[in-house]
A and B are shown apart, each in its own frame.
Chain A
Amino acid sequence: MRDTEHSGLGTASCIQLTATSEPEGGRASLRRARSSTGTTMHAFKDSGHLFRLAAVFVAGILVFLVLRGFLVPKSFGQYGHYRGNAMAEIAARPVNFAGHETCETCHADVLDKKKDGKHAHVNCEACHGPLAKHADDPASVQPPKLDTAVLCVRCHEANAAKPKTFPQVASADHSTGLPCDTCHQPHSPVIGGGAK
């Protein structure tokens, strides 16, 4: 097992070289060199290629660090490990549903009708759909007409998974094909309870 120490060297020497074809080269001579004077100087010189390689690596790392300085977004790390500006960007999204308070500022009449009825807690846009654009500019954006035959059953069609206390009908039997608003007032659906 003596010569295994040179195994790497051995593999490396597949091209014949006059300089180091002697098998006892390598480490032994290094040891010898160590014990003589001027060692450090020689060792330094003989590992020159390693320093060159190290210089290439260091240069690479430096280039990376400089680039990093430029490329990392400025707001990164402001609050945590993320771009601080991201939240403002997400918050800047336009709103599509205006919210019932907004509708009610203009449609106080509907609110009056609705607020004592069973649909009091059903918000306007739950039936009318997203209307922020209409609320923004009612003159030019008209809300689409609703088809009660489709609208009401979404909530009221009987289904075993619905809470038992929720008013449900089997629409086929209940309305016999008529639109629900022939009998019910959408904003105050209970029939016969006055304006409820």
Chain B
Amino acid sequence: MPGVEGFMYPNEIELQWSVLIVLYPFLTGLVAGAFILASLERVFRVQAVKPTYRLALLTALSFLLVAPLPLQLHLGHPERSFEMYLTPHRTSAMAMFGFVYVWYLMAVLVLEIWLDYRRDIVVLSESTTGWRRWIYRMMTLGSHNLSERALAIDERVGYLITVIGIPSAFLLHGYVGFIFGSVKANPWWSTPLMPVVFIFSAMVSGIAAVMVLYMLMTWSRGRSIDMRCVDTVARYLFYTFIIDFSLEMLDLIHRIYESDESFRSLDFMVHTKLYLSHIVVQIVLGTVTPIALLGLTQVVKLTEMARKRIYALAGCLTLIGIFAMRWNVVIGGQLFSKSFLGYTTYKMGLVTREGLLVAIVLTVLPLVILWVLVKLLPPWTERNSGLLPDARAAH
């Protein structure tokens, strides 16, 4: 049998979850992480990261809008997916997806963005013309009330929603971890650490993504990057990354020390089929290197330019590393036989429904959506900086 070493149960030879299912936790991870970064500013009052606040929210929204697409495309019967809402099965982690998703999308992200932008929307609905005007008008829901009290209420409700949003973001991604972590049949997945590792890796990837996007967008708009902001974001990235890495190492050490029935099989896999994506890309390139780079900026005084470059590099490596981590969890978990006697190979299609091309489109799509959102709801704060109460950020 080509691609098969040792013995696989005959139904195991074909992989069930493809690269699209790798993409799915990657995307929701970015959502959760970006949101947590936004909440840093709002709930934990980290003023320095304010320039990224709105961008983080919009990033979260655009990735969240795309997140269910890989799932849909992978289903055998996408037209039946609404059954998850009709008859959700209480004992299934996956059934909760629909509800967690809708809750997070509508009750958290859309609401928070709407409240935060309501003033802009109302003003834009009056200052713009044509189809844009109609869009903004629709978004005002017919209420143009911008009285002090109304805005104060928005502020309070928005704060409340962010507070609710943090556990929701944890839930959104923690439950994705639970989907894998609760499969007792699969020792590569089955660990209570899985949801926790997923949450922290989500924060890492989301923070890195917003940091890179912020630098990229500011640069492309010809503005100067707010270094105080990026430095702070990078510092938080560093801290969460260390926690994430420690958790993953804890899992690894635990596995090696316990050496249960599955260990030999998994160990062999990590040293052969998963060597490149696990050891090289995920651990060395995508975790240790960015942590070292970020650590360097914490210890050594570097010029602004050097820091920018390091942040950009570390951010990109982080994203690659986290993607590799999702890959190793999802694909790695299906490469070995549940009999622990053999291994199969994942053959990715190129232009098939679950192939590489679709995966690339789905990775780019959120960025396109983000571009549209940024045009529609500009997140930049510095345009009228002189007139704004938060102009202090520029000092």
CA–CA, A33 to B155, complex, Å?
A: 16
Q: Mark A163-181, 1 if CB is under 8 A from B, else 0.
A: 0000000000000000000
Whole-angstrom distance between the Cβ of A9 and the nearest chain B Cβ: 5
Which residues on the A side are within 8 Å of B360 (C-beta)? none
Are A14 and B153 in contact, CB atoms less than 8 angstroms apart?
no
Which residues on the A side are within 8 Å of B154 (C-beta)? 8-9, 12
Q: Which of chain A's residues has its CB closest to B51's CB?
A: A11
Number of B residues, CB within 8 Å of A:
53
Are A11 and B50 in contact, CB atoms less than 8 angstroms apart?
yes
Q: Which of chain B's residues has its CB closest to A12's CB?
A: B119
Which residues on the A side are within 8 Å of B152 (C-beta)? 9, 25-27, 29-30
Please tell me which stretch of A52-60, A86-94, A97-105, A110-118 contacts chain B, meaning at least 4 of its Cβ atoms lie within 8 angstroms of it: A52-60
Which residues on the B side are within 8 Å of A50 (C-beta)? 153, 157
Q: In chain A between 56 and 103, which residues have their CB closer than 8 angstroms to a CB of chain B?
A: 56-57, 60, 64, 68, 71-72, 76, 81
A40 at the interface (CB under 8 A from B): no
A15 at the interface (CB under 8 A from B): yes
Are B389 and A49 in contact, CB atoms less than 8 angstroms apart?
no
Which residues on the A side are within 8 Å of B156 (C-beta)? 27, 30
Are A8 and B150 in contact, CB atoms less than 8 angstroms apart?
no
CA–CA, A76 to B145, complex, Å?
A: 47
> Which listed residue, A7, A20, A64, touches B148 by the CB 8 Å rule?
A20
B116 at the interface (CB under 8 A from A): yes
Q: Mark B367-393, 1 if CB is under 8 A from A, else 0.
A: 000000000001011011001111000
CA–CA, A1 to B48, complex, Å?
A: 12
Which residues on the B side are within 8 Å of A33 (C-beta)? 149
A48 at the interface (CB under 8 A from B): yes
Please tell me which stretch of B84-92, B223-231, B278-286 contacts chain A, meaning at least 4 of its Cβ atoms lie within 8 angstroms of it: B84-92
> Which listed residue, B111, B120, B147, B148, touches A14 by the CB 8 Å rule?
B120
Number of A residues, CB within 8 Å of B:
45
Are A57 and B149 in contact, CB atoms less than 8 angstroms apart?
no
Are A9 and B151 in contact, CB atoms less than 8 angstroms apart?
yes
Please tell me which stretch of B15-23, B39-47, B322-330 contacts chain A, meaning at least 4 of its Cβ atoms lie within 8 angstroms of it: B39-47
A17 at the interface (CB under 8 A from B): yes
Q: A11-B116, A14-B383 are in contact. Are A29 and B148 (CB under 8 A)?
A: yes
Which residues on the A side are within 8 Å of B114 (C-beta)? 53
Q: Which of chain B's residues has its CB closest to A1's CB?
A: B45
Given contacts A12-B154, A29-B149, 8 further A-B contacts (CB under 8 A): A3-B389, A5-B155, A6-B389, A7-B390, A9-B155, A25-B148, A53-B111, A76-B87
A-B contact list, 29 entries, CB within 8 Å: A5-B155, A8-B155, A9-B151, A10-B389, A10-B390, A11-B390, A12-B154, A15-B127, A17-B123, A21-B387, A25-B151, A26-B155, A27-B155, A27-B156, A29-B149, A30-B153, A33-B149, A42-B149, A43-B149, A43-B153, A46-B150, A49-B145, A53-B111, A53-B114, A56-B141, A71-B86, A76-B87, A81-B89, A81-B90
